[in-house]
A and B are shown apart, each in its own frame.
Chain A
Amino acid sequence: MSSTETPTLVIPEPQPASPPTLPLRPSLSPRGRARRGTGVTVLVALALAAGALITAFPFAWMLFSSVKPQSESIDYPPKLFADQPTLEYYVRLFTELDFDRYLVNTLIVVLIGGFGLLFMAMAGYAFAKYDFRGKSGLFFLVLATLMIPVQVTMIPTYLILNGMKLTNTLVGIALPTLISGFGIFLFRQFMSTIPTELLEAARLDGASEFRIFATIVLPISKPILAVQAVLAFIGGWNSFLWPLIIASDQNLYTLSVGLALLNQQIAVNPSLQMAAACVQVVPILIVFLIFQRYVVQGFALSGLK
């Protein structure tokens, strides 16, 4: 995975050690073609780097603005770097405002999401490796839910949670998004590739079905589990709509809802808001950067091509 060759290389000839140059006229000799490929790759790299900087720029702006004193953040013309950087807004978030409370709530919602992950893995396994009555009908339901927009189910889901007396609870906030049809689909795709003989052998050894699932299927499914765990973490961490609808008690607000409260003060204190945005964005960036490789790998292995 760590080779540096370009996909367009024609002949497996070693690349020139000198820095690649773009020939004025594309030559048809193998070496010329290889060089041209390298030259194009350098251009592509530059273009991609520029695109990456533009894409990530709003986040850089957020980060730099969060340490500006308020007077500097509403200064015109705007400046990227603060003259007198300060961390006072981060302190305020956790002392004067309730961001410590919101952070804890968000983490609880994320943890509840772990159960959803287990349930989706179990369902994906059953769809991949068992035959049972109603299987195709149930799987159709799974795929059909992909088409149902949240806004369509928003009101009835509220009515259902209200009927279950789960409004204004963290469980109620987490429940509507606990299971995604997309997640079950990806688990099934991946687990279909597990050799049936392996499971049969374990059965012959007398292992119970749940033991097989826990000790054979789950460990093999690590790549897809990683993808799903990251996606579930992101979803739970960013959850906004359901806490907004379900939680009327401020003590149950998640980070997103706490941020939205600050949103009403945009003209007053951008620094405070950018600091709050950083509190929400930076942890998830770190989680994602660590697991990024597994995410792409996991999607690739789930046969999504």
Chain B
Amino acid sequence: MSIAKAATKATPYVFVGPAMLLLIAFGVLPLLVALVVSFTDMDISGLANWSNIGFAGTANYERLFADPDFGQAFGNTVFFALIGVPSVVIVSLAVALLLARSNSRFFRALRAFYFIPAITGIVAIALVWGYLYNTQFGLFNWLLSLVGLPPVQWLSDPLLAKFSVAFVAIWRGTGLNIIIFLAALQGVPKEYREAAALDGAGSWRTTWSVVIPLLRFAILFVTVTTVIAWLQFFDEPFVLTDGGPLGATTSMSIFLYKEGFRLNQFGYASAGSVVLFIVIALVTALQLRSRRADVEY
């Protein structure tokens, strides 16, 4: 506490100032702007001249909940989250546990391969996967033909497109989480495992009953951030299918982008943004609360 006394009062504000100003300008303020704009009929003419903006009350929200396209986007987002979150969390935890089995040069070299998708730009990923999924000269359909299966419309069949797009996102989403789990595993004291092993627990049993409970915080962190990421699902459908075919891969974020930037319906899209934010905040709060009850046995 004597630090605070010794330092002049302004010092901490100088340290947090630049970052907080930017964070407020581009994180917090936009949310408030979205809230305000969501009660107006702002469109492209309002962007040019603010006097063209009119108060719209809750009209945007009423229209939103009656809009079948928004309903479909909402349903798609839930579908994506239900497939994506468990896949990403389980795959990255499993891979991290296996990678942490040994510290040999070989295992450490393998790690890098699993990180590659996470650090690659989405557009490059879209180009490569678009090429692999291509129906005329793509590799995947050729692989299917090798085992005698007919070609498949990876990105133009409405149901299959959902899975194709989600698969790319799962492939890309595991890398960072593997890093986080590996880092957390370094914090598991070796003595715990050895004690469990001395008590006769096999490696499977040790992992399940000793290591995984110790990773509780990392698992919570990864689950919460992964849920948020999938509720915001945007990149993969945006570049691979542009939300198609027939809106089958239109997530809430894609819907917002189209309404906002293609149709210039800023007021309407902002109302959608506010709804999306509330959904994310509620889901996150629910997760944190259920886990807290879990920890305080």
Binding site for B on A (CB under 8 A): 1-8, 10, 37, 40-41, 44-45, 47-49, 51-53, 55-56, 58-59, 61-62, 65, 73-78, 116, 119-120, 122-123, 125-127, 129-132, 135, 138, 141-142, 144-157, 159-160, 162, 175-176, 178-179, 181, 184, 196, 199-200, 203, 209, 213, 234, 237-238, 240, 245, 255-257, 259-260, 262-263, 266-267, 270, 273-274, 276-277, 280-281, 284-285, 288-289, 292-293, 295-300, 302-305
Contact of A296 with B182 in the complex, beta carbons under 8 Å: yes
With A52-B110, A76-B137, A122-B15 in contact, is A151–B232 under 8 Å at CB? yes
B295 interface residue per 8 A CB criterion:
no
Q: How far is the CB of B13 from chain A (nearest CB, A)?
A: 7
- Collect the chain A residues with CB atoms within 8 Å of residue B15's CB: 122-123, 125-126, 130, 213
- Collect the chain B residues with CB atoms within 8 Å of residue A295's CB: 179
B297 interface residue per 8 A CB criterion:
no
CA distance A145 to B187 in the complex (A): 28
- Collect the chain B residues with CB atoms within 8 Å of residue A199's CB: 3
Contact of A151 with B276 in the complex, beta carbons under 8 Å: yes
CA distance A144 to B115 in the complex (A): 27
CA distance A44 to B110 in the complex (A): 12
B248 interface residue per 8 A CB criterion:
no
- Collect the chain B residues with CB atoms within 8 Å of residue A65's CB: 131
Q: How far is the CB of B80 from chain A (nearest CB, A)?
A: 14
Chief secondary structure at chain B's binding surface: helix
Task: Pick the most buried of B122, B127, B138, B225: most chain A CB atoms within 10 A of its CB.
Answer: B127
Task: Pick the most buried of B4, B116, B194: most chain A CB atoms within 10 A of its CB.
Answer: B116
B206 interface residue per 8 A CB criterion:
yes
With A10-B197, A150-B232 in contact, is A160–B260 under 8 Å at CB? no
- Which one of B121, B138, B182, B187 contacts A240 once the chains associate, using CB atoms below 8 Å? B121
CA distance A237 to B138 in the complex (A): 28
Known: A123-B18, A149-B253, A262-B127. 8 other contacts (CB 8 A): A78-B139, A126-B13, A130-B4, A141-B24, A148-B28, A155-B261, A159-B37, A160-B29
B102 interface residue per 8 A CB criterion:
yes
With A2-B103, A126-B15, A149-B280 in contact, is A55–B117 under 8 Å at CB? yes
- Which one of B30, B103, B115, B188 contacts A152 once the chains associate, using CB atoms below 8 Å? B30
A-B contact pairs, 9 of them (CB 8 A): A10-B197, A48-B99, A62-B127, A144-B28, A156-B270, A157-B26, A176-B26, A296-B179, A304-B180
Contact of A305 with B217 in the complex, beta carbons under 8 Å: yes
Binding site for A on B (CB under 8 A): 1-4, 6-9, 11-13, 15-16, 18-20, 22-31, 33-34, 37, 47, 95, 98-108, 110-117, 119-132, 134, 136-139, 142, 145, 171, 179-180, 182-184, 186-188, 190, 193-194, 197-198, 203, 206, 214-215, 217-218, 221, 225, 228, 231-232, 234-235, 239, 252-253, 256-257, 260-261, 266, 269-270, 273-274, 276-277, 280-281, 284
CA distance A69 to B3 in the complex (A): 66
CA distance A149 to B188 in the complex (A): 33
- Collect the chain B residues with CB atoms within 8 Å of residue A10's CB: 194, 197-198
Contact of A132 with B13 in the complex, beta carbons under 8 Å: yes
Q: How far is the CB of A36 from chain B (nearest CB, A)?
A: 9
**Residue of chain A at shortest CB distance from B120:** A281
Contact of B19 with A122 in the complex, beta carbons under 8 Å: yes
Contact of A40 with B203 in the complex, beta carbons under 8 Å: yes
Please list the 5 inter-chain residue pairs (A to B) with the smallest Cβ-Cβ separation, ordered nearest first: A299-B183, A52-B113, A156-B33, A156-B30, A238-B121
With A7-B100, A146-B228 in contact, is A152–B119 under 8 Å at CB? no
- Which one of B102, B116, B188 contacts A45 once the chains associate, using CB atoms below 8 Å? B102
**Residue of chain B at shortest CB distance from A47:** B98
**Residue of chain B at shortest CB distance from A162:** B47
Q: How far is the CB of B289 from chain A (nearest CB, A)?
A: 15
With A4-B102, A132-B13 in contact, is A148–B206 under 8 Å at CB? no
- Collect the chain A residues with CB atoms within 8 Å of residue B103's CB: 1-5
With A2-B103, A300-B184 in contact, is A238–B261 under 8 Å at CB? no
Chief secondary structure at chain A's binding surface: helix
Contact of B30 with A7 in the complex, beta carbons under 8 Å: no
- Collect the chain B residues with CB atoms within 8 Å of residue A262's CB: 127
Q: How far is the CB of A287 from chain B (nearest CB, A)?
A: 9
With A55-B114, A77-B142, A123-B16 in contact, is A152–B124 under 8 Å at CB? no
- Collect the chain A residues with CB atoms within 8 Å of residue B1's CB: 131
**Residue of chain A at shortest CB distance from B105:** A2
Contact of B183 with A300 in the complex, beta carbons under 8 Å: yes
Q: How far is the CB of A297 from chain B (nearest CB, A)?
A: 8
CA distance A116 to B26 in the complex (A): 13
**Residue of chain B at shortest CB distance from A298:** B183
Contact of A130 with B11 in the complex, beta carbons under 8 Å: yes
- Which one of B31, B142, B179 contacts A76 once the chains associate, using CB atoms below 8 Å? B142
- Collect the chain B residues with CB atoms within 8 Å of residue A37's CB: 203
**Residue of chain A at shortest CB distance from B9:** A132
- Collect the chain A residues with CB atoms within 8 Å of residue B273's CB: 149, 151-155
- Which one of A53, A56, A141, A234 contacts B23 once the chains associate, using CB atoms below 8 Å? A141
Contact of B19 with A179 in the complex, beta carbons under 8 Å: yes
CA distance A284 to B115 in the complex (A): 12
Task: Pick the most buried of B22, B37, B104: most chain A CB atoms within 10 A of its CB.
Answer: B22
